[in-house]
Amino acid sequence: MGNRPIRILLIDAHAADVNKVKTALRQDGNYRITVVNQRAALSAYLATGEFDLVLMDVCLEDWKGVNILEAVRKRWPDIPVVVLTDQSQTNIALDIMSRGADMFVYKSTANIQQLPTIFAIILERKRCRNQRKNVEIELRHKNAELELLHDLNQAVNRGETLEQILTRLSVDYRRRFNCFGVTVYLLSDDRQQLIMQFPGMSSEQIELVERIIRRPIPKVRIPKRPHSWYWKVLESGQPAMTSDPEVIEAIMAELTENSTLKKLIPQIARALHITSVISAPLIVQGESVGLIDTSRQTPFGQDDLQRVERLAGEVSLLIKRQMTESQLKRRAAQQQTLNRIITAATRETDLQKLLETALGQVLQSFDLDTGAIWMNTWRAYRNLPPEFPAQITKAARDMALSISSPIAIADWENVQEQYTELAPLMRKFNIRASLTSSIVAGEEHIGGLSIAAATPRSWDQSEIDLAEAIGYQLGAVARRLQLLKEVTATRDYYKHILDALHDEILIIDHQYRIVDANEPFLRRMGYRLEEVVGKYCYQVSHQISVPCWQQSDSNHICPVLNVWKTGEAARSIHLHYDVKGQPIWLDLAASALQDSDGCSRWVIEAAREVTAEINLRTRLDAIYQLGQSLTLLRDESVIIKKVLATAIDLLDISMAACGLVDEQANELDYRYIAGMTAEQLRLPLDGGRGIGVAVARTGKTIYLPDTSTDSRYVGVGNWHAASAICVPMKVGERVIGVLDGEAEKVAAFSPQDQQLLQALADQAAMAVENARLYQQVQRQLDDLRALFQMSATLRDAVSAEEMYPIIVSQGAQALNMDGGVLLQWDDRASVFKAVAASGLLAHLKSVTIPGEGSISGYVRRTRRIYTFSDPDSADHIPADLRTMVEDVTSGVWAPIMTEGWFWGTLVLGSAQPQRFTAQDKHLLTSIATMAATAIQRSSLFESLQQSHQALTRAYDTTLEGWARALELRDQETEGHSRRVTEMTLIVAREMGIRGEQLLHIRRGALLHDIGKMGIPDNILLKPGKLNDAEWKVMRLHPVYARQFLQNIEYLRPALNIPYCHHERWDGSGYPRGLAGEAIPLEARIFSVVDVWDALTSPRPYRDAWPQERAKAYIQDQAGKMFDPQVVKVFLRLLDKGAFSSLANDDTSPGGAQQANDNAH
């Protein structure tokens, strides 16, 4: 209740008790108390008062408590009632509770003090009860609404009419929602009136209203006017609700235009007890089409407004569906009417019969029985009285002729002032409504159509459009019949002209049916005129049953279709078939034929046969496509075979051949023949027979129409052609071959065939030349790759002996030979000796061939390459050829030499006949030159290597002498330098050091104490301990070693051991205090070995340590003095006995040389 005081009606005659109640309530809450202690006062409040709670005693002085309770309950059935009495009997309490009291409270001070709490409980119960009641009501309304919508949808699905559905809606809504029902209004066609479709009242209510107005309820039409409740709802598109009695009476007054009825509106409103009205618009596709309203005797709430709005939406959908279905049915029926009239018009040639048929169809479509059609002197009437005066016909005809659009009269009673002459006549013949339209032919009005009804009738736009369409269709028929005579009269004239034309002519109508054809067309296609007229053009021309433009060939262009689509002339070339199914290519030109009104009525199609031209174009396209494909080919045989296959296909001949000029052999090589099986044919260009040889020599085409009469023709095997042609294949002015075509019939080649064959020859010549150039480039690339590979392989070879087999094998591979032999010239013995052989000539690897009487000797004298292809044809067989002749069919000899120096010959052989080209010889010359250079380089390298090794041995011997001299000066144990050197090399190899670095380690180990040469003898040879100053000098010997060796390029790489072998792993060494891996690895290895040898070797001042003691010391110094990894490797090698051969005594002088060899 918010902040509003709780309104309490206190019924009690005891003033003291009343005061107690007031005091208790005043202390605890916001209450407004009305006290009643007499019956009269209570009766007044029962009539007009409104309270939230009643607190009462069971009796007043003049009214018993039970009666008071019943009166209160009757007046306020929903508010709480608490009985406060001083009677505590149980039976009284039960009786009071059964009569409607919500609580029984015994009068006591304590209970009165608890009244605020009791009231709070009672009022909360009431609130919960009301809330539950409202929810229940809302659920009932929702269910009722859903049931109503379900029933409406079921009615729609059953196919009920709109009137049946609206009746069901009104009845069901009245039953479910306790109101007068639903009234539906729809807008008229002109949207100027709202027409009631069904009154939303029960039969009792209708009877009541009709008693008041003393007549049946008239049909309600609400005209459009300002300030109208209904039109405001329509125009706003929003629902509206009112409970204002004056507004309700104004709404009811809108339902009639009769002044008498308007005066009765207040009486009707009182009789019906209408206290609230809701109206909601019906909207279809965004446009208001009507509205619904409902009313009842109790006020509507917001929920009711929303429910009616939702209902309006559902009704709008129903109306839309019904309107759409009705409209579709009506339009379908109208279209059927129009189609039947059009069908009759296209078939009927009798105008009078056509008018009778059309009138019957129109009246049937409009569900009428009165009408007339007139056109010039022809007339058709239906159900007009005999006395129908001539003036009404004339007036109607004049009216139709004077208008540009149909006239629709819904009620002649309403247009009497507008049609002063016609209206009385219409009334006389009982015509209340009529629809009149003109019959138009072109731009001329030639008649009229009029249909009539005896009652008022509105005409919708579709009916008006139908009447107008029928008028135009009848006008077209009249014009057609008029023109038919004209066409018939001139037909023979035009037919004569068409038959006289050279081109083939077809006349085709809108339906693609043939109307006429001239004699040239019938002659070429093999038909009679009656066999084609009336048939579809594509049935005759293409022999198919569906339109040609619907075929799968998307490239098809129909000129007739294009003319009908665009109205412009069209042209195309495509394939037709004659009556025998033979294909014919036609050049078609089509244009529209217009009638006298300028309308396109037919298409005239002129055709000219272009089969020969199309075939030529097809052949040229094939040649072009061949040229495109040939540009991608690099294989001569594939090119020629494609060209020959194309020649046979395009020229329809039996045999085609290609001869290529072999310039080296001066022959015409017919290696490619198509259409027959024949062996390769080679003809000499000088003195050879046949037209191919003549064409190859002259470069001019030769055509023999009849080979039997021309001696120049030479057949191949058993084949003998009836006619033959040969064309040159030229690149520029150079003839590279010929292309032959031969046929089994005389004079088989037309001039066009000759041109096509020459085009093929040109394509073939260009493709072959390109393929040869490509192969030549590829050959050059292959030669370069072979030379590069051979050069790389020879470069990796160390000695000449390694080079010899490389030269033979890769030389044979480069020239595609089966084997080879390399012969070295022995100048002292004057013979050639084989140093390598492979493949087919492997058996010659030890042969010796004399210098005289051999091909190799000839090559040595002439310094030129020698080749042979057939040893059996030689008059004499040289010595080196004699050894090869059994297996070799072709071979080549190449001199291996440089300027002023001849080394020998490279001989390559093959088991197959092979012709050696200039490119082969050039490649072989390059191989021989490369071989000579490599062999010469190898000889020079071996000489230099021998000199270098001798010098290295001299250096190493000198170093060993220096090491021995240092041992003697420093009084070292004999062999110390040798031992530490060998042990250092063993450990270095184990740790992965290889190659030349081992040689530098050896030299560094031998010279590890070379720096002591700079230490004075009094310090170096001092028998006792050195003092600090002396030690400082002694520790300079690594620095002196660096100074001695760094300027000797030969020994600079060996400097790490002499300079760094006294550095320690922990950085405590000298001369630089290096630590860890900053110390060179070879110095770290040597420091371990040097200490080991020093510990295990005897000295003048001490004995040698035992190995176990020395090992323990070495292990202990790992990570301090020594590299732990080096110590680990050293001790592992020591345990394996790797140093066992190195005793502490001197060995043979050869030990130094052996160490040198191992270093390498």
C-alpha 311/C-alpha 444 separation (Å) is 53
C-alpha 23/C-alpha 427 separation (Å) is 90
Burial class (CB in 10 A: 0-12, 13-18, 19+), 335: middle
CATH number of 614-774: 3.30.450.40
Burial class (CB in 10 A: 0-12, 13-18, 19+), 275: middle
* Choices 1.10.390.10, 3.30.450.20, 3.40.50.2300, 3.40.50.9100: CATH for 501-608: 3.30.450.20
Intrachain domains 348-482 and 797-933 with the same fold: yes
End-to-end CA distance of the chain: 116
C-alpha 1091/C-alpha 1081 separation (Å) is 16
C-alpha 820/C-alpha 803 separation (Å) is 14
Residue 61 · residue 11 · CB < 8 Å: no
Cα dist from 481 to 377, 475, 514, 851, 1072, whole Å: 15, 10, 20, 119, 131
Tokens encoding 582: 């033979």
Give the number of other CB atoms < 10 A from CB of residue 332.
10
Q: Is the peptide bond between 1071 and the residue preceding it cis, with omega within 30 degrees of 0?
A: yes
C-alpha 360/C-alpha 1086 separation (Å) is 134
| Phi and psi at residue 106, to the nearest 5° | -80, 135
| Phi and psi at residue 388, to the nearest 5° | -55, 110
Residues 6+ apart with CB under 8 A from 62: 38, 39
C-alpha 650/C-alpha 752 separation (Å) is 11
C-alpha 190/C-alpha 210 separation (Å) is 30
Give the number of other CB atoms < 10 A from CB of residue 349.
10
For residue 816, which of 716, 678, 919, 962 has the smallest C-alpha distance? 919
What is the assigned CATH class of domain 160-328? alpha beta
C-alpha 987/C-alpha 1068 separation (Å) is 24
Q: What is the three-class DSSP state of 1011?
A: helix
Residue 747 · residue 754 · CB < 8 Å: no
Q: SS3 string of 183-195?
A: EEEEECCCCCEEE
Tokens encoding 569: 């002339």
Residues 6+ apart with CB under 8 A from 588: 559, 571, 572, 573, 574, 605, 606, 607
For residue 932, which of 798, 804, 789, 802 has the smallest C-alpha distance? 804
- What CATH homologous superfamily does 797-933 map to? GAF domain (3.30.450.40)
Q: Against a cut of 0.75, is the pTM above it? A: no
The 10 Å CB-count burial string (b at 16+, else e) for 665-687 is eebbbbbbbbbeeeeebebebee
Instruction: Report, at the CATH architecture level, how domain 971-1159 is classified.
Output: Orthogonal Bundle (1.10)
For residue 470, give the amino acid letter.
I
Q: Which helix (H) or strand (E) holds 240?
A: strand 240-242
Give the residue ranges of the chain where pLDDT is below 50. 389, 400-401, 874-875, 947, 954, 969, 971, 973, 1145-1160
Q: What is the three-class DSSP state of 171?
A: helix
Q: Is beta strand 848-850 parallel, antiparallel or unpaired with respect to 866-868? A: unpaired
| Residue given tokens 């066009």 in the structure block | 752
Tokens encoding 642: 């494609």
C-alpha 9/C-alpha 7 separation (Å) is 7
For residue 122, which of 76, 166, 163, 81 has the smallest C-alpha distance? 81
Query: CA angle, 873 as apex, 867 and 878 as ends, to 5°?
Result: 60
Domain extents in the chain: 6-135, 160-328, 348-482, 501-608, 614-774, 797-933, 971-1159
pLDDT of residue 528: 85
Instruction: Report, at the CATH architecture level, how domain 348-482 is classified.
Output: 2-Layer Sandwich (3.30)
| Residue given tokens 């007043």 in the structure block | 60
CATH fold of 6-135, please?
Answer: Rossmann fold (3.40.50)
| Residue given tokens 């380690």 in the structure block | 1001
Compute the 3-state secondary structure of the chain and give helix, strand, coil in percent, each to the nearest 5: 50, 20, 30
| Phi and psi at residue 840, to the nearest 5° | -60, -25
C-alpha 1063/C-alpha 1083 separation (Å) is 8
Cα dist from 729 to 33, 529, 571, 629, 768, whole Å: 132, 54, 40, 18, 10
| Residue given tokens 């044809």 in the structure block | 873
Cα dist from 342 to 86, 335, 337, 532, whole Å: 102, 10, 9, 25
